[in-house]
Amino acid sequence: MRTTDVARHDEARCIWPARAVLGEGPFWMATEGALYWLDIPGRKVHRLELQSGAQASWDTPLRIASLAPRRSGGFIAGTERGLAFYEPRSARLERLLDPEPEHPHNRCNDGKVDPQGRFWVGTMDDHEEAPTGGLYRFDAQGHLARIDEGYTVTNGPAFSPDGRTLYVNDSPRRVTYAFDLSPDGAASRRREFLRFDEPHGFPDGMTADAEGGLWIAFYGGGCVRRFSPDGAWLAEYRLPVAKTTSVAFAGDALDRLFVTTGRDGLSAEELEAQPLAGGLFELTPGVRGVAPVPFAG
């Protein structure tokens, strides 16, 4: 990690004090003008209409760690039992496949859709101990490809604005990897893009902006940081909670940055000091995001 003169900010505001156990997976759904996000162990899908501020929540039949809209309607989900099609309002869940039946203690974790409409999802050891997780690509034809392996907790992923670079975190190792990504979905030349020391926290969910900047939430670090395409640390946004988990650009102009957080594992004293832990926060990033693409299936 190359450090420049880091711009530091403390302007995050909590817009939904939801007290999520582990908030995750935010994404913008432009057709509804709404931001969706998850509480994985709390088994919730949350929805926030940005214009009206209306909130809605649904219980999930399984732990869902990642969710993305489908072009044909509904959502694709990464769950504790593999990939599924899911519709929160009706609670209908259609299980598709388990990418790792040989690892019964693994579950799906973060997932995102690439510019070509393919769903990329990571897996993890549910005990966060063994490097049994991997990275997978799932396409509209139902083909699943294992792209990489050896992860303990796979997080991210994120794509550069031109779609030519894929970023993935292995959170316990405090490493962000970069891959070259071709239009046909082949990922190659994995390299260590960023590595963090213990005081920084663990790199968790992330997204890229339209200028190529990479925004990473740091679990245990209480912040979101922005990095340049060449790995320079550009900015840091502090939050009043320690467990920042993921980020997403949203709004009609994609100029609002939303941050999910958690409260899992906090002591009674820490919860008293962090009453907004588990809330949804908003930042003013000064840059715009990239319009998300639905899963092509």
Give phi and psi for 150, each to the nearest 5. 90, 15
Task: Please identify which of the residues 110, 204, 252, 264 carries the catalytic annotation.
Answer: 204
CA torsion sign for 249, 250, 256, 262 is: negative
Residue 169 labelled as part of a binding site: no
Residue 114 labelled as part of a binding site: no
Helical H segments across the chain, by residue range: 268-273
Residue 24 labelled as part of a binding site: yes
Residue 129 labelled as part of a binding site: no
Q: Which residues contact 283 (CB under 8 A, 6 or more apart)?
A: 9, 11, 12, 224, 237, 256, 257, 258, 259
Collapsing DSSP to helix, strand or coil, 171 comes out as helix
Quick one: DSSP state of residue 210? T
Quote the CA–CA distance of 195 and 52 in Å, as a whole number: 40
Q: Which residues contact 253 (CB under 8 A, 6 or more apart)?
A: 288
Across the strands, what pairs with 238?
223
Q: Buried b vs exposed e over 65-103: b needs ≥16 C-beta within 10 Å?
A: bbbbbbeeebbbbbbbbbbbbbebeeeebeebebbbeeb
What's the full length of the chain, in residues?
297
Q: Is 114 a catalytic residue?
A: no
Residue 109 labelled as part of a binding site: yes
Locate the DSSP E strands across 92-186. Answer: 92-97, 106-113, 119-125, 133-138, 144-151, 154-159, 165-170, 175-181
Please list the active-site residues. Answer: 204
Feature table: binding site for a divalent metal cation: 24, 155, 204
**Binding-site residue positions:** 24, 107, 109, 155, 204
Q: Which residues are annotated as a binding site for substrate?
A: 107, 109
